[in-house]
Amino acid sequence: MRRLALALALTAVSLAGPAASRCEDWVPQPKPQNAGRDIVGRDLDEIVERGFIDFAAYADFPPWSYEDGGKAAGVDIEIGRLIAEALGVEPRFHLVGAGENLDADLRNYIWKGPVVGGAVSNVMLHVPYDSEYACRVEQVVFTGQYAGEEVAIAYRKDAYPDDPPVPAYFRFDSVAVENDSISDFYLSSFAGGQLSAQVQRYPDTEAAMTALAGGETMAAMGPLAQLEAGRTEAIAIHKPPLAGFAVSHWTVGVAVHMRYRALGYAVDDAIRAGLEDGRIAAIFAAHALSHLPPDR
pLDDT the model gives residue 163: 93
Residue 35: CA count within 13 A, CB half-sphere? 2
pTM assigned to the model:
0.87
SS3 state of residue 185? helix
Cβ-proximal residues to 176 (8 Å cutoff; 6+ apart), any chain: 200, 201, 202, 208, 209, 211, 212, 216, 217, 219, 220, 221
Q: Which of 7-11, 78-82, 101-105 has the lowest mean pLDDT?
A: 7-11
pLDDT band at 144 (very low <50, low <70, confident <90, very high): very high
* Selection from 64, 242, 213 nearest residue 150 by Cα: 242
Residue pair 235/156 in contact by the 8 Å Cβ criterion: yes
Q: Which domains does the chain have, with CATH numbers?
A: 2-148+250-286 (3.40.190.10), 150-238 (3.40.190.10)
Distance CA 153, CA 236 (A): 9
Other C-beta atoms within 10 Å of 116: how many? 5
Residue pair 223/75 in contact by the 8 Å Cβ criterion: no
Helix ranges, 88-124 (H): 102-106
Residue 5 has pLDDT above 80, yes or no: no
pLDDT band at 35 (very low <50, low <70, confident <90, very high): very low
pLDDT the model gives residue 137: 85
pLDDT the model gives residue 8: 46
pLDDT the model gives residue 110: 92
